[in-house]
Chain A
Amino acid sequence: MSDSMASSTTTAPLLIEIGCEEIPAGVAPRMGEALQQAVAACLSDAGITTSPLKLGVTPRRLLLHTEACPTMQADREEIIWGPPERVAFKDGEPTGAAHGFAKKCGLPLEAFTLADKGDGKGNYMRATRQITGRAVVEIVAEAMPDILRKLPSPKQMRWQDGVTRNDAFIRPVRWIVARLGDTPIDFSFAGIRSGLISRGHRIHGSSGELDVRDPFGWLMGQYVHADRDNRRALIAEQLQAAAAAQGVQLVADAALLDEVTDLVEWPVAIAARYDDDFLRLPEQVSRIELKHHQRCFSAHDGAGHVSPVFFTVANIESPQPELVAHGNARVVNARLADAAFYFDRDPQQSLDARVEKLSEIVFQDGLGMVGDQVRRMRAFVLDNATALGVDANHAQRAALLCKSDLTTGLVAEFPELQGYMGGIYAKMDGEHEAVADAIAHHYAPTGADDALPANAIARAIGISERTDKLLGYFHLGRIPTASADPFGLRRAAIGLVRLLTDARYPVEMTLQKVIDEAAKQWNQQRVTIAISEETKAKAHDFVIERLFGLAPQLGFSKACIDAAIHSSENRPLYREAMIAEYLMRFASSEPGQAIAAANKRIANILRKTDVVTSEVDPARFSETAEQSLYDALCAAEAEFATIMQRGDFENDMLTALAMLAGLREDVDQFFDDVMVMAEDAAIRTNRLALLARLRKLFLNIADVGRLS
Chain B
Amino acid sequence: MLTFQDLILTLQQFWAKQGCVVQQPYDSSMGAGTFHPATFLRVLDDQNWSTAYVQPCRRPTDGRYGENPNRLQHYYQFQVILKPAPEDILERYLDSLRTIGIDPALHDIRFVEDDWESPTLGAWGLGWEVWLNGMEITQFTYFQQVGSIELSRTPGEITYGLERLAMYIQGVENVFDLVWVENEAGEQVTYGEVFHRNEVEFSRYNFDAADTDWLHTQFDRAEQACGELAGQQLVLPAYEEVMKASHAFNLLDARGAISVAERQRFIGRVRGLARTVARAYAGVEA
Known: A263-B112, A314-B108, A318-B107. A157 touches B142 (CB 8 A): yes
Question: B133 within 8 Å of A by Cβ?
Answer: yes
| In contact, B144 and A318 (Cβ under 8 angstroms) | no
B85 CB contact (under 8 Å) in A25, A159, A203, A320: A159
| In contact, A25 and B106 (Cβ under 8 angstroms) | no
Question: B110 within 8 Å of A by Cβ?
Answer: yes
Counting chain B CB atoms within 10 Å of each CB, the highest count among A203, A312, A361 belongs to A203
B87 CB contact (under 8 Å) in A22, A24, A157, A174: A174
A622-B286 Cα distance, complex, nearest whole Å:
85
| In contact, A161 and B113 (Cβ under 8 angstroms) | no
Residues from chain B with Cβ under 8 Å of A305 in the complex = none
For A152-174 the 0/1 string (1 means CB < 8 A from B) is 00010111110000000001101
For B114-154 the 0/1 string (1 means CB < 8 A from A) is 01000000000110100011110000001010000000011
A295-B111 Cα distance, complex, nearest whole Å:
13
Stretch at the interface among A211-219, A329-337, A667-675: A329-337
Known: A158-B144, A314-B108, A315-B108. A330 touches B260 (CB 8 A): no
| In contact, A365 and B261 (Cβ under 8 angstroms) | yes
Known: A174-B87, A323-B106. A362 touches B261 (CB 8 A): yes
| In contact, B261 and A327 (Cβ under 8 angstroms) | no
| Interface residues in B, total, Cβ within 8 A | 35
A161-B259 Cα distance, complex, nearest whole Å:
43
Question: B105 within 8 Å of A by Cβ?
Answer: yes
| In contact, A296 and B112 (Cβ under 8 angstroms) | no
Question: A326 within 8 Å of B by Cβ?
Answer: yes
A25-B113 Cα distance, complex, nearest whole Å:
7
Q: Beyond A171-B126, A326-B133: 18 further Cβ-contacts under 8 Å?
A: A21-B90, A22-B113, A157-B126, A158-B144, A158-B154, A161-B84, A203-B94, A263-B110, A294-B134, A295-B112, A315-B108, A318-B107, A320-B106, A323-B133, A327-B168, A328-B133, A332-B134, A361-B260
Residues from chain B with Cβ under 8 Å of A319 in the complex = 105-106
| In contact, A327 and B107 (Cβ under 8 angstroms) | yes
Question: A432 within 8 Å of B by Cβ?
Answer: no
For A48-62 the 0/1 string (1 means CB < 8 A from B) is 000000000001000
Contact sample, A vs B, 6 pairs, CB 8 Å cutoff: A21-B111, A157-B125, A319-B106, A324-B107, A362-B259, A362-B261
B84's closest neighbor in chain A, by CB?
Answer: A161
B136's closest neighbor in chain A, by CB?
Answer: A331
A59-B105 Cα distance, complex, nearest whole Å:
18
Residues from chain A with Cβ under 8 Å of B188 in the complex = none
B104 CB contact (under 8 Å) in A157, A316, A362: A316
Residues from chain A with Cβ under 8 Å of B28 in the complex = none
Residues from chain B with Cβ under 8 Å of A318 in the complex = 105-108
A335's closest neighbor in chain B, by CB?
Answer: B70
A328-B153 Cα distance, complex, nearest whole Å:
37
A314-B106 Cα distance, complex, nearest whole Å:
11
A542-B38 Cα distance, complex, nearest whole Å:
51
State how many angstroms separate the Cβ of B79 from the closest Cβ of chain A.
19
| In contact, A327 and B106 (Cβ under 8 angstroms) | no
| In contact, B135 and A327 (Cβ under 8 angstroms) | yes
A295-B113 Cα distance, complex, nearest whole Å:
12
State how many angstroms separate the Cβ of B249 from the closest Cβ of chain A.
18
A159 CB contact (under 8 Å) in B109, B128, B154: B154
| Interface residues in A, total, Cβ within 8 A | 40
Residues from chain A with Cβ under 8 Å of B132 in the complex = 327
| In contact, A324 and B108 (Cβ under 8 angstroms) | yes
Question: A204 within 8 Å of B by Cβ?
Answer: yes
A295-B112 Cα distance, complex, nearest whole Å:
10
A332-B84 Cα distance, complex, nearest whole Å:
37
A312 CB contact (under 8 Å) in B112, B115, B134: B134
A294-B110 Cα distance, complex, nearest whole Å:
11
Q: In residues 166-199 of chain A, which contact B (Cβ within 8 Å)?
A: 171-172, 174
A26's closest neighbor in chain B, by CB?
Answer: B113
Known: A24-B113, A203-B104. A157 touches B135 (CB 8 A): no
| In contact, B111 and A22 (Cβ under 8 angstroms) | yes
Known: A263-B110, A296-B134. A203 touches B154 (CB 8 A): no
A24-B168 Cα distance, complex, nearest whole Å:
26
A362-B69 Cα distance, complex, nearest whole Å:
31
Residues from chain A with Cβ under 8 Å of B260 in the complex = 361-362, 365
| In contact, B126 and A155 (Cβ under 8 angstroms) | yes
The 4 A-B pairs with the shortest beta carbon distances in the complex, nearest first, are A327-B133, A24-B113, A328-B134, A22-B111
Binding site for B on A (CB under 8 A): 21-22, 24-25, 59, 155, 157-161, 171-172, 174, 202-204, 263, 294-296, 312, 314-316, 318-320, 323-324, 326-328, 330-332, 334, 361-362, 365
| In contact, B105 and A203 (Cβ under 8 angstroms) | yes
Q: In residues 202-217 of chain B, which contact A (Cβ within 8 Å)?
A: none
State how many angstroms separate the Cβ of B100 from the closest Cβ of chain A.
15
Residues from chain A with Cβ under 8 Å of B154 in the complex = 157-160
A273-B112 Cα distance, complex, nearest whole Å:
22
Residues from chain B with Cβ under 8 Å of A174 in the complex = 87
State how many angstroms separate the Cβ of A364 from the closest Cβ of chain B.
9
Residues from chain B with Cβ under 8 Å of A315 in the complex = 108-110
For B186-200 the 0/1 string (1 means CB < 8 A from A) is 000000000000000
Residues from chain A with Cβ under 8 Å of B109 in the complex = 203, 315-316
State how many angstroms separate the Cβ of B275 from the closest Cβ of chain A.
20
Residues from chain A with Cβ under 8 Å of B126 in the complex = 155, 157, 171
Residues from chain A with Cβ under 8 Å of B168 in the complex = 327, 330
For B36-68 the 0/1 string (1 means CB < 8 A from A) is 000000000000000000000000000000000
Residues from chain B with Cβ under 8 Å of A202 in the complex = 90, 94, 104
| In contact, B135 and A330 (Cβ under 8 angstroms) | yes
| In contact, A155 and B115 (Cβ under 8 angstroms) | yes
State how many angstroms separate the Cβ of A44 from the closest Cβ of chain B.
34
A512-B31 Cα distance, complex, nearest whole Å:
50
A204-B112 Cα distance, complex, nearest whole Å:
19
Known: A159-B154, A171-B126. A331 touches B113 (CB 8 A): no
A366's closest neighbor in chain B, by CB?
Answer: B261
Residues from chain B with Cβ under 8 Å of A155 in the complex = 115, 126
| In contact, A204 and B134 (Cβ under 8 angstroms) | no
| In contact, B70 and A161 (Cβ under 8 angstroms) | no
Known: A24-B113, A157-B142, A324-B108. A334 touches B70 (CB 8 A): yes
Residues from chain A with Cβ under 8 Å of B90 in the complex = 21, 202
A324 CB contact (under 8 Å) in B69, B111, B133, B264: B133
Residues from chain A with Cβ under 8 Å of B85 in the complex = 159, 172
State how many angstroms separate the Cβ of B29 from the closest Cβ of chain A.
26
State how many angstroms separate the Cβ of A92 from the closest Cβ of chain B.
67
State how many angstroms separate the Cβ of A624 from the closest Cβ of chain B.
75
| In contact, B135 and A331 (Cβ under 8 angstroms) | yes
A509-B70 Cα distance, complex, nearest whole Å:
53
Residues from chain B with Cβ under 8 Å of A326 in the complex = 133
Residues from chain A with Cβ under 8 Å of B142 in the complex = 157, 159, 172
A316 CB contact (under 8 Å) in B108, B111, B128: B108
A365's closest neighbor in chain B, by CB?
Answer: B261
State how many angstroms separate the Cβ of B137 from the closest Cβ of chain A.
10
A324-B105 Cα distance, complex, nearest whole Å:
11
Residues from chain B with Cβ under 8 Å of A323 in the complex = 106-107, 133
Residues from chain B with Cβ under 8 Å of A312 in the complex = 108, 134
B88's closest neighbor in chain A, by CB?
Answer: A174
Q: In residues 229-286 of chain B, which contact A (Cβ within 8 Å)?
A: 259-261, 264
Known: A294-B134, A365-B260. A160 touches B84 (CB 8 A): yes
A227-B135 Cα distance, complex, nearest whole Å:
28
State how many angstroms separate the Cβ of B135 from the closest Cβ of chain A.
5
State how many angstroms separate the Cβ of B86 from the closest Cβ of chain A.
11
A530-B94 Cα distance, complex, nearest whole Å:
60
A154's closest neighbor in chain B, by CB?
Answer: B115
A319's closest neighbor in chain B, by CB?
Answer: B106
B134 CB contact (under 8 Å) in A161, A327, A362: A327
State how many angstroms separate the Cβ of B41 from the closest Cβ of chain A.
20
A202-B91 Cα distance, complex, nearest whole Å:
9
State how many angstroms separate the Cβ of A26 from the closest Cβ of chain B.
9
